[in-house]
Amino acid sequence: SSMRTHLSTCYGLLFNTLPLTSPLSRLTMARSNTSKPKVDKMQQLLHADPSGGWDKCWEKGMTPWDLGQPTPILVHLHQTGTLPKGRALIPGCGSGHDVVAIASPERFVVGLDVSENAIKQATKLFLSSKSVENFAFLEADFFSWRPTQLFDLIFDYTFFCAIEPEMRSRWASRIRDLLKPDGELITLIFPL
């Protein structure tokens, strides 16, 4: 179906695997990019310390969701002028690659993360970026953070799938509260 093809293309762009011909091969390749031991160790850290686990993951380098580069599909949407201009939010921004990739004079991007180590890493990586006036990194909890302005765009890559299932309705309420009525939400779910 066209939906299946679209999803396969999204996975392909996400993990730079588009040259592979089979959608199944692309998905298998995407999954193989994540080592299971790392994911298992990450989950152990999070279960042992739900409040500070994310910070420990960043401290120990247990971040299998971090591509170490901007998400290719997001870069593609930015380069083709598809993304809304105005204000954008990236919750769980991690090391900040996506924030900086779509920041521009027409789009101010807020990267939010609960992990102090993630925000420190993002700030260190992009302190001297030429578009530094077009983005900000904030250490804050998405569920309690209260910004002064709403957003035209929210990009969620691996954030929704990282929260406990019982928190998903709170996630939806927060997205609704933070997004302008005509704003756009883009989500990519980590393929585990």
Residues whose CB is less than 8 angstroms from the CB of residue 55 and which lie 6 or more positions away in sequence, other chains included: 114, 115, 116, 117, 118
Fill in the amino acid letter for 122: A
pLDDT the model gives residue 32: 43
What's the CA gap between 172 and 101, in Å, rounded?
Answer: 25
Q: Give the per-residue pLDDT at 53.
A: 57
Distance, in Å, from the CA atom of 89 to the CA atom of 159, rounded to the nearest integer, reads: 12
The 10 Å Cβ neighbour count of residue 176 is 11
pLDDT at 9: 35
Q: Tell me which residues of the chain have a pLDDT lower than 50.
A: 1-34, 192
Q: Are 140 and 178 in contact (CB under 8 A)?
A: no
Looking at residue 130, its pLDDT comes to: 85
pTM of the shown model = 0.70
Residue 64: its pLDDT value, please? 60
Predicted confidence at residue 191, as pLDDT, reads 54
Sign of CA dihedral 132, 106, 78, 178: positive
Q: Return the pLDDT at 79.
A: 94
Amino acid at 58: W
Which segments within the chain are labelled E, that is strand? 86-91, 107-113, 135-139, 151-157, 179-188
Rg value, the chain, Cα: 16
* Predicted pLDDT of residue 95: 83
What is the pLDDT at residue 63? 57
Q: 6 vs 10, 15, 65, CA distance in Å?
A: 6, 14, 21
Q: pLDDT at position 108, please?
A: 98
Comparing CA positions, the residue from 101, 23, 157, 192 lying closest to residue 12 is 23
Indicate the residue type of 86.
G
Say which residue the tokens 């609960």 belong to.
114
Q: What pLDDT score does 115 carry?
A: 83
